[in-house]
A = this chain, B = another copy of it.
Amino acid sequence: MHDEQGWGCGLLVDMTSSFILRVLLLGSLLSTFPVFAQTLVERLGYPPGTKLLIVHADDLGETHSVNAAVIKALQGGTINSASLMVPCPWFPEIADYAKSHPDTDFGLHLTLTSERVYYRWGPVAPADKVPSLVDQNGYFHHDWEKGERINAKEVEIELRAQIERALAMGVRPTHLDSHQYRLIMNGKELFDTMLRVAHEYKLPVFVTRDWFADHPYLQASLGPSDIVLDHTVTMEPEIPPEKWADFYVTALKNLKPGVTEFVIHPGYDDDELRAATRERPTWGAAWRQRDYDFFTSDQFREILAQQKIKLITWRELAPAAEAR
């Protein structure tokens, strides 16, 4: 975990307001009054040491199987947040649900790749406006090969198109995140693009301090009004199926104080999802069924209670950013 001081230094890079600079200097002089050292947990009004958890399902809109499984799990209450892939063909189904369930915590899972083989999608923006994002058949690239020239201006066009379609279809997103972390892990220019668009739409972006060491540009670009989660946990491809529950149980038992987002991928292991993901087991149908099973289980519910972990959503985080 990175210290608050390091984060404070990062802030200075981007700040131009002399007022804010003076306040920062004052803050460092008056170290007994640590207004800028306040953690996200404290800003949310919880005592230090509180363990807050977002249980966040990815990839809604990609398949009906994932939509159906996550809707069922959201209704059960232990999965409490999710994000939607606007370019995908089942987006209308989940947009319709979001519209009729306006209190649900739905973000947009900004999507720039079409990573499957037998089931694919392309950009929301006209393909000729985002040529660097599409392959020779007009789909998003399956992957970004080393040296793939992704044009940040085209990324911005596509992100705006995704957000505008979601808004036009009645979705009121609570946050933005990035499918396959493409906008997080691929350099400052793409991250800044996402952040600029997010600021314009007044939406928080999913970023965690866990990523700062490997990607220092994240810290450098974030401002004082941005929410930064403390930690994230996600399943690792090397975990065998029989250790699935163990992995999550261990993570929950070792959960650190602060706000953590579990990034999970529930779905039903049915014909559609098996066909859509059949070229590899990672994030495949059986994987997603295991996630569904664990996060809707009594075991999960009991560990939350036992470990005094409180569930929280992006709906509660957004006001913390505004209040800052």
Q: Which of B89, B129, B137 contacts A121 (CB 8 A)?
A: B89
Min distance, Cβ A234 to any Cβ of chain B, angstroms: 26
Number of copies of this chain in the oligomer?
A: 2
Known: A64-B275, A271-B65. A118 touches B138 (CB 8 A): no
Complex interface bits, A10-51 against B, C-beta within 8 A gives 1, otherwise 0? 000000000000000000000000000000000000000000
Are A126 and B129 in contact (CB-based, < 8 A)?
A: yes
Are A119 and B68 in contact (CB-based, < 8 A)?
A: no
A171 to B226, CA, bound (A): 49
> Which of A90-98, A173-181, A186-194, A293-301 forms part of the interface with chain B?
A90-98
A268 to B270, CA, bound (A): 13
Residue A239 lies at the interface, judged by CB distance under 8 Å to chain B: no
A96 to B279, CA, bound (A): 13
Q: Which of B68, B129, B276 contacts A275 (CB 8 A)?
A: B68
Residue A256 lies at the interface, judged by CB distance under 8 Å to chain B: no
Complex interface bits, A194-212 against B, C-beta within 8 A gives 1, otherwise 0? 0000000000000000000
A-B contact pairs, 9 of them (CB 8 A): A64-B271, A65-B271, A90-B119, A92-B117, A92-B118, A93-B118, A128-B128, A270-B270, A272-B272
Interface positions of A (Cβ within 8 A of B):
64-65, 67-68, 88-93, 96, 117-121, 124-129, 136-139, 161, 165, 168-169, 268, 270-272, 275-276
